[in-house]
Structure formats: structure tokens, C-alpha cells
Amino acid sequence: MKKTVSMLFVFFVLLNCGELTRKPNERSENTSSENPKEAQVNEFAIVIHGGAGTILKENLSDEKEAEYRAKLEEAIRVGYTILEEGGTSLDAVEKTINVLEDSPLFNAGKGAVFTNAETNELDASIMDGSNLNAGASAGTKTVKNPINLARKIMENSPHVMMAGDGAETYAKEQGLELVSPEYFYVENRMQSLKRVKEKDAQKESDNASAFYDATIKDSKFGTVGCVALDKNGNLAAGTSTGGMTNKRYGRIGDVPIIGAGNYANNATCAISGTGWGEFFIRATVAHDISALIEYKGVSLKEAANEVIQKKVPALGGDGGIIAVDKYGNMEMNFNTAGMYRAAMNDKGELVIGIFKE
């Protein structure tokens, strides 16, 4: 029954938004909800990111770069195979993110950064574009794969967002794999925390100015995400992170905030963000990109440029997004020096990127 509701939702929203997404020269393309395949670029597609920031060639050894490229390819091929075999975009997103969460290379799951208290507090969210259902968890310390908890919250609870000990309790009730906090210990993450703490200390304990210091900002962020379009035309988006190195006060960033760091809507697109979370929340980045497409009728690329190249920098923030729209158009857009990323279309063509090209 829920599926019927979802399909009705898709059909009528497509019908409805054909009006909105029409540009004069696209009339035949975007209003053909009776035959949307006319405008279809890819029957299915998947895009992933492993964080954006000051990622420069000179700071990355050839070995390290090869490691990142290999892990990005391993992850995206997991989701691609699911989509190619007719699986759901939700499964593709979850399983792809699991690979990234289980790698110490990225600030999510195993590689989560340390808080000021030398703990690891993870956030994640997932959204189903077919029915706008969503799940998010914040500040969990023992859940091995937070994206799995986000999905359980979405599918098995009446809630969208759970935080802290309560979220851990729910994870246990749902039978998710829990690990001891030591599982998340990664030596270079601890070194990053020590460096950031030293630099913060130099700022005469002026938390704000230390936070805004560009020299330490980049070492603080990073996250992973995946967006996918499946053969049934359903979009899904997922994002998972360890948050911000040296975070205090139970800080929650944009990742578990639906509409900020993550959003999916079959009427428009699926988006996952990475970057300076506070600015992504203030700019409601993910929903703003979707709204530009739905109400202004611009393309995914135009919408992403508007928000990532103009609105976020105008506020003083930085970062990037990955996205795929209902037509299978893929987008990887960032205003930082680099973003770990990969994309695959329905022909199996793979693109992997790290630096600005």
C-alpha cells in the first residue's frame, strides 16, 4: 500500500512539476510526464563523495592518492551493481556508504574524527525521494555504521531524527552492529585533534576566531555521501560523518539535518553535501537546490552553481555537493580546492576525481 502511495506521489509530482521545470526550449522535454523517458539522460546513475576541502596534489603522496581512488571505485561499484541488477536506490546508497564508513580514509564510521573530549560522535541521514520519508541520527558513539541506523529510524520508527544515548538504545533494539568506542580510534585522527587543540589554544581560547581560522578549518571537516537514481525512477540520498574535529557542546552539523546536508525528492533530485556544516544549515543547501529546480525551472547544474558557487561563499562558507536528478543528470560541484568524488552512469562509465580539474 505504501508503495502505491509512493508511486502515486511520483506520478502526480512529476505531472505537477512538469509545469514548473519547463523552460521554453524544453517544453517537449520536461512536460512529457506521460513519457518522461524523452528527457532521460541515464536510466540509472550513482554519485559519491568522500569529503571536500583544501585537498592539494602536493599534499597527497602518489600512494595515498591511489588508496583513495581505489576505495572510491570499490565503493561506487557496490552501488552500481545493485542498481544495474534492478535494486533500489536506497540499497545502493546504504551499501555504498557502508564501504566508505568501514574505511579509515574518510571522516565517517571507522575514520571518524575526534571530539574535544577525545570521543567519536557520529551523525548520518538518509532520504527516500519516492515518499519523502527520512531518517537521521546524531551523536552516536558505538554504532558501527550510522547510515544503517538512519535507515532503521526512517523505516521502522515513527520518527525522523534521534540523538545521543536514545539513538544508541534504538540501534540496540534494532539489532544493529555495535562496537566499542576503541573501534573508531585512528592514530592520524588523534594527531589532527592534538594539532587543532594547539592552534585553538594559540587563539587565546577565542573559540570563534579559532573556528574561523582557515589554516585549521580544513583539518576539521570531511564526510561521505552517496546519491542514486534506480531503474524505477526512485531517487535516494545518504550522508554520514564523524563531524568536526575538536567539536564541543554537543555540536550538530548539517549531515543529519534534512534539507541541509541531505535531501531527495523524485520530483527533482537527490543531494548529499560536504563542507562547513554551519553554513550548509543556514543556506539549507540541499533543499534550496531542489527548490530552484522545482520552482524556478533551472537545470541541476544551474541550481548547484547558484547555491555552491554563489550563496554559500556569500555567507562565508565552503564545501561541495554531489547530486543526481530525475533525468539521471549527475553533478559534482564544490568551491574548495578538492573533493574526493566518483560517478557512474548507466553505461558503466566511471569518473573518479580528487582535485579541481
- 20 belongs to the binding site for a second copy (CB under 8 A): yes
Interacting span for a second copy (CB under 8 A) from 55-63, 185-193, 244-252, 341-349: 244-252
Per-residue contact flags (x/-) with a second copy for residues 124 to 143, judged by CB under 8 A: -------xxxx---xx----
Per-residue contact flags (x/-) with a second copy for residues 272 to 301, judged by CB under 8 A: -----xx--xxxx--xx--xx-xxx-----
Q: How many residues bind a second copy (CB under 8 A)?
A: 68
- 166 belongs to the binding site for a second copy (CB under 8 A): yes
- CA 113 to CA 111: how far, in whole Å? 6
- 158 belongs to the binding site for a second copy (CB under 8 A): yes
Written in H, E and C, the secondary structure of 163-231 is EHHHHHHHHHHCCCCECCHHHHCCHHHHHHHHHHHHHHHHCCCCHHHHHHCHHHHCCCCCCEEEEEECC
Selected binder of a second copy within 104, 164, 313, 353 (CB under 8 A) = 164
Question: What's the burial of 54, exposed, middle or buried (CB within 10 Å: 0-12/13-18/19+)?
Answer: middle
CB of 288 to a second copy, least distance (A): 7
The three-state secondary structure class of 261 is: coil
CB of 15 to a second copy, least distance (A): 7
- 10 belongs to the binding site for a second copy (CB under 8 A): yes
- CA 152 to CA 146: how far, in whole Å? 10
- CA 93 to CA 80: how far, in whole Å? 10
- CA 57 to CA 337: how far, in whole Å? 10
Q: What are the C-alpha distances in Å from 38 to residues 33, 43, 266?
A: 9, 11, 17
The three-state secondary structure class of 257 is: coil
Interacting span for a second copy (CB under 8 A) from 98-106, 190-198, 243-251, 330-338: 243-251
Binders of a second copy in range 313-352 (CB under 8 A)? 314-315
CB of 194 to a second copy, least distance (A): 20
Interacting span for a second copy (CB under 8 A) from 74-82, 104-112, 155-163, 339-347: 155-163
- CA 8 to CA 59: how far, in whole Å? 50
Nearest CB to a second copy, comparing residues 104 and 164: 164
- 15 belongs to the binding site for a second copy (CB under 8 A): yes
- 212 belongs to the binding site for a second copy (CB under 8 A): yes
CB distance 261 to 129 below 8 Å: no
Annotation marks residue 223 as catalytic:
yes
Among the options 88, 96, 115, 223, which is catalytic? 223
Interacting span for a second copy (CB under 8 A) from 51-59, 72-80, 203-211, 223-231: 203-211
Q: What are the C-alpha distances in Å from 35 to residues 31, 95, 212, 297?
A: 9, 31, 49, 19
Which residues have a catalytic role annotated? 223
Binding region for a second copy (CB under 8 A): 1-6, 8-10, 12-17, 19-21, 131-134, 138-139, 156-167, 169-170, 207-208, 211-212, 248-253, 257-260, 263, 277-278, 281-284, 287-288, 291-292, 294-296, 314-315
